[in-house]
Amino acid sequence: MPSCSVHHCVLFLLTLTLTTAGVSAAVCSTTVKLHHPVTLSCEHKCSVSVKWTLFYNRDVVLARCDQTSCSSQEGFTISHDQYKKGDLSLTITKADYSLRDTYSCECGISEISTVRLSIETVFSAVQMHPGEDLKLDLSVPESVKVIYRGSDSADGVQICNVTDRTLQCHTEYTPRTSLSNSELTLRDVTLSDSGIYTIRDTKSDEDICVYTVSVTDDRVPWWVYVLIVLLLVFLLLALIGLIQYRRNAVHRDFIEVSKQLGNVNKLVQRAEREQGDERSGNSPEALQKAEEAMKVLEERYRENAKYSEQIKLFCAAKREQLRLYRTGEEERLLLTHRGE
């Protein structure tokens, strides 16, 4: 018995009336992804020649085999080794929309199997912004219709029809649509254009492509860019101000330290003058003020990494200066007393 073993068979009987014999064959439906290879199954132990033809045009022979060899048109292959084993399957190397058809496998004058080839629907998700153009690939040379179903609608509505490369659309779409080669363009989309667009073959009523279009207005408003620029300018000015403030602070610290060193130096000089004045009775008080001023200065800048060491050395030098001055004065007084 002739058989047809393929995936997705439509099991209905088709009665063929041949010139010399009548054979019943099941029509099998095979679906393949676009541009993928596909095998049309036909299994039968055939001792005569085998050929694959178009079901509706038997004069178009795509492949044939006999006991000695096999031959096929470009894009089709059939194996002679498999033919001898009873596998008469035909392989289409790269399926496209032009190859959608019904194919017949014949052994001699008997039809073994009939296979209808379909291409899987191509699904695409499209993210868009208002004002952009939506491009719909019609893909097939045959007549097609474009069906639109809105995001909040349960039913689709035919919005355009393409026949013999002529575009006809509903009045509301006509100003925004155009056709170039096999591409339909919908210009200046809006939020209301979101939805599902189906490209359907008018003749076979098959869905060729389904576009899920989402139009969202998530672009950043112009005023946000202005705000960002203003913020950057503000941050730049703040940074410049901070740098300038730190520079001024360093200068102020230097002036303050210099001022305090000058005050200590004046107190030391005053103590020296009063020590040299034998008539002054305030020498201990001047020395005490100078020493206290140096202690306060050292304590204030003890934790200051920049000035601590310098102030310590300065105060040590001033104390040594007072000590040497006192020693010199004592020696001078001693010599004076001896001279008397």
pLDDT tens-digit map of 49-91: 999 999 999 999 999 999 999 999 999 999 999 999 999 999 9
CA distance 255 to 239: 24
pTM of the model: 0.57
Q: Which has the closest alpha carbon to 34: 76, 81, 92, 95?
A: 95
Structural tokens at position 42: 């036909």
Return the CATH number of the domain spanning residue range 122-215. Answer: 2.60.40.10
Output the 3-class SS for 33-52.
CCCCCEEECCECCCCCCEEE
Q: Which has the closest alpha carbon to 33: 140, 117, 108?
A: 117
Phi, psi for residue 149 in degrees, rounded to 5: -125, 115
9-119 classified as CATH 2.60.40.10: yes
**Mean pLDDT value of segment 302-322:** 83
Q: Are 160 and 177 in contact (CB under 8 A)?
A: yes
Is residue 35 very low, low, confident or very high in pLDDT (cuts 50, 70, 90)? very high
Residues of each domain in the chain carrying CATH 2.60.40.10? 9-119, 122-215
pLDDT tens-digit map of 216-227: 987 777 888 899
Tell me if residue 295 falls in helix, strand or coil.
Answer: helix
In 188-328, at which residue ranges do the beta strands (DSSP E only) sit?
A: 195-201, 207-215
pLDDT tens-digit map of 234-275: 999 999 988 888 888 778 878 888 888 888 888 888 877 776
pLDDT at 41: 94
Structural tokens at position 139: 């893909």
Q: Which has the closest alpha carbon to 161: 188, 181, 175, 142?
A: 142
pLDDT at 334: 54
Q: Are 169 and 160 in contact (CB under 8 A)?
A: yes
**Mean pLDDT value of segment 27-53:** 94
